[in-house]
Chain A
């Protein structure tokens, strides 16, 4: 993702170019949905949180500092939106996560194995404290640096390193039997 390109899209959006916001939304929506889903069991809730976050980002776009990367700024809003929704949903009974993820074109047994792995991985993530979940996913899955994650989570960089370390260790332990499938 090109951060200068992002800054230019932000500038164009602020100037009233609606298509520029569309491009930003398309660029970040998949990531926003994945990050929201780290914190919300229900995929629809996660999508709602991601949607709220994208609209909140748009409403506050003038407050974004274009000298800094856009992704971490947006992901901070996404995590806040997801945490907020998660807190409000605590009274509601959690729905099971077990559904889908079958890549079209894969052999059925392989697809089933990957689907099963996805379920196990989501369950394993849910065993982790929220911050560790976010840290490991933002680092390993979304490619953010420790410094950027520290900025997103508003914690010292050492805390992020520690969270990633512990989260990886616990995920690897729980998924030891799936090592082959992961690699």
Chain B
């Protein structure tokens, strides 16, 4: 194959014509914006995942809270039942302890009731 010495130089008119022939028809800015939007999408997906995790967390926390309330109310009901039994023993001290807002546990009430006995 023979090389023309001009092979090492650019053919400017041909290059310009090629650029014009291959020039994209659409708006360059819109194209770049589309690329950047796709670049952003994986990040958005990551945030969506985190958000779904947090939603799951809220649901779990709510379930745990409901379970805790249920357990506490059960325990409360047991206390009332025992307290009612104790109140039936007509000990004023025990009745007073039971009606207070920060009423003590059943063990204290039993102790007080037993002391009265």
Contacts and interface: CB of A to CB of B under 8 A. Distances in A.
A binds B: yes
A148 to B, nearest CB: 13
Given A101-B23, A140-B11, A165-B4, 12 more contacts: A22-B36, A46-B24, A47-B24, A54-B35, A117-B17, A118-B17, A121-B17, A136-B18, A141-B18, A165-B7, A171-B14, A183-B13
Instruction: Pick the most buried of B4, B21, B25, B26: most chain A CB atoms within 10 A of its CB.
Output: B21
Contacts of B13: 182-183
A34 B25 contact: no
Interface of A: 18, 21-22, 25-26, 29-30, 33-34, 37-38, 43, 46-47, 50-51, 54-55, 58, 99-101, 114, 117-119, 121-122, 125, 136-137, 139-143, 146, 161-162, 164-166, 168, 171-172, 175, 181-183
6 contacts: A51-B35, A51-B38, A141-B18, A164-B7, A165-B1, A182-B13
Contacts of B8: 146
Contacts of A118: 17, 20-21
Interface size band for B: 20 to 34
A33 B113 CA distance: 90
Interface of B: 1, 3-4, 7-8, 10-26, 28, 31-32, 34-36, 38-39
Contact of B10 (A43, A140, A161, A162): A140
Nearest to B2: A165
A34 B14 contact: no
B21 A143 contact: no
A108 to B, nearest CB: 17
A25 B21 contact: no
